[in-house]
Chains A and B, each alone.
Chain A
Amino acid sequence: MSKKINLTLKVWRQPDNRTSGRFEVYPAQDIDTDMSFLEMLDVVNDELEKEGKDPIAFDHDCREGICGMCGCVINGQAHGPDAATTVCQLHMRRFQDGMTLVIEPWRAKAFPIIKDLAVDRSAFDRVISAGGYISVRTGAAPDAHAVPVPKDSADQAMDAAACIGCGACVAACPNASAMLFVSAKVSQLALLPQGQPERDQRVVSMVSQMDSEGFGNCSNHYECEASCPKEISIKNIARMNRELTRAGVRS
């Protein structure tokens, strides 16, 4: 049974990256517990617009937990309190009546704030451009079983490929490190035969791009893994460490 709850929101408001931001307090009244977190923000924004105020900017797209667009830090946790859940799939039944929620954007030097809760994650795109692809001639699709892939490798590559690039790993990391994201992208290709020709160059280029974007270094806290909505394992980080050493030894 759904019910209605009232909450107090402390939301980070920041007009743009050049202006400093601050928290604003808004009431969230009569919130249906069957709403998602983003629907709750929509309701609050409706009220703000009625009052002639600027609505809270936040990123969202599919609202099905698979696109990687949404994300904010709720009471100090990326994507909120539920494990393996994006903020669009977080539901208001998770919260109690009368709670205060502190809502902040991903905070990382490499993710400049666009407005309020929306951050610029194009650093991730540049890391992918540096090597997160395979170079193949397009044409007719090859037969499905033309290239054999060991079951274990296929499973691990699939697990790594579950990454939606939302940036929660960076947001949760005390060092704002992008190691979980980059290692998932390196791993999904390093594990498969199609990724072999560019394997060494890929890891070197992607790590180099990651470093120059201003992400921090991994200090093995594993907050990333605990915050990842797709449960990407830190074993990918170990694999990337190994891949880089391998590339260095082979070059």
Chain B
Amino acid sequence: MASSNRTLLQSSIVRKQIVAVTGLAMVGFLIAHLSGNFLIFAGPEAFNGYSKKLHDLGPILWVLRIGLIAALLGHVVLAIKLTGENHAARGGRYAVSNSRGDGGFCKKTMIYTGILILVFVALHLYDFTYRDKTGDPTIVEGVNGGLSLGLFGLVWNSFLQPWHSGLYILAMIILGFHLSHGIQSLFQSIGFFHDRYTPMVKKIGFALAILLAVGFISIPIYVNVVRTPHL
């Protein structure tokens, strides 16, 4: 058989599998992230305590962060490259196009929802990771005697701004769209197909996408319903 000078890593399939595995890693991160975020319902002490514990991990936190950044970069760079190749491969558009599969708004918009999520991640990191957690924006009016509530206060005040909550909720809906195709799709890419289990994987993937989106959205909704945190 013809020997190939392309390495396996350059093959379309392996590059897609890297997108799939990095995607799976980020889904794992989202589950952990949301679980941590739910501590906001338990009040500032629990929430800030969780944040402090994470920071106290020191070098381990940075190992996790670098892993996550690498996964994100790999996912984004390869996905953009693969999408570019796909457009080039089309070679002329059909005058009439008529999907006969299960259609799929989410499938067709993966690259766009992905790019919007990337923009959100940048804004989100500035918002809650980079910004100072001791100053005025962390003081929730009429609570804690005008003292800073740290990260809890920052998140609470941010979500009290309607535009801020609105953008966050919109971003999470987009994330839900992205994951509703992404989670079930990654199993096919890594080669998992089973007559009995694949329909289950599809349902669970779809449900997990909705649960994650609804879970994240529940936080700004909670803040806006309660308005004054119970300490």
Contacts and interface: CB of A to CB of B under 8 A. Distances in A.
B190 A205 contact: no
B134 to A, nearest CB: 46
A210 B6 CA distance: 12
Nearest to A78: B100
A212 B100 contact: no
A227 interface: yes
B4 A216 contact: no
Given A108-B89, A175-B90, A241-B17, A222 B101 contact: yes
Interface string A214-245: 11111111110111000000110111111111
A235 B90 CA distance: 23
Contacts of A83: 100
Interface stretch (A54-62, A69-77, A159-167): A69-77
B133 interface: no
Contacts of B10: 211
Given A76-B98, A102-B95, A176-B91, A205 B2 contact: yes
Given A174-B108, A205-B2, A108 B90 contact: yes
Contact of A175 (B13, B86, B95, B193): B86
Nearest to B185: A220
B147 to A, nearest CB: 51
Contacts of B145: none
A248 B8 contact: yes
A217 B86 contact: yes
A16 B165 CA distance: 57
Interface stretch (A35-43, A142-150, A196-204): A196-204
A239 B13 CA distance: 12
A93 interface: no
Given A75-B98, A217-B82, A241 B189 contact: yes
Place the interface of chain B in its size category. 35 or more
B85 A217 contact: yes
A188 interface: no
Contact of B191 (A23, A73, A201, A241): A241
A65 interface: no
A238 B13 CA distance: 10
Contacts of B89: 108-110, 175-177, 214-217
A204 B8 contact: yes
A109 B90 contact: yes
B130 interface: no
Contacts of B94: 73, 76, 104, 107
B193 A76 contact: no
Given A208-B6, A208-B11, A237-B188, A76 B96 contact: yes
20 contacts: A83-B100, A107-B90, A109-B89, A129-B2, A172-B100, A174-B86, A174-B90, A176-B89, A208-B11, A209-B4, A211-B11, A212-B6, A216-B86, A217-B82, A220-B185, A223-B100, A237-B188, A242-B191, A242-B192, A244-B13
Interface of B: 1-4, 6, 8, 10-17, 82, 85-86, 88-102, 104, 107-108, 110, 181, 185, 188-193, 195, 198
Given A107-B93, A222-B102, 11 more contacts: A23-B95, A174-B108, A176-B89, A177-B86, A198-B1, A217-B82, A223-B99, A238-B191, A241-B188, A244-B14, A245-B14
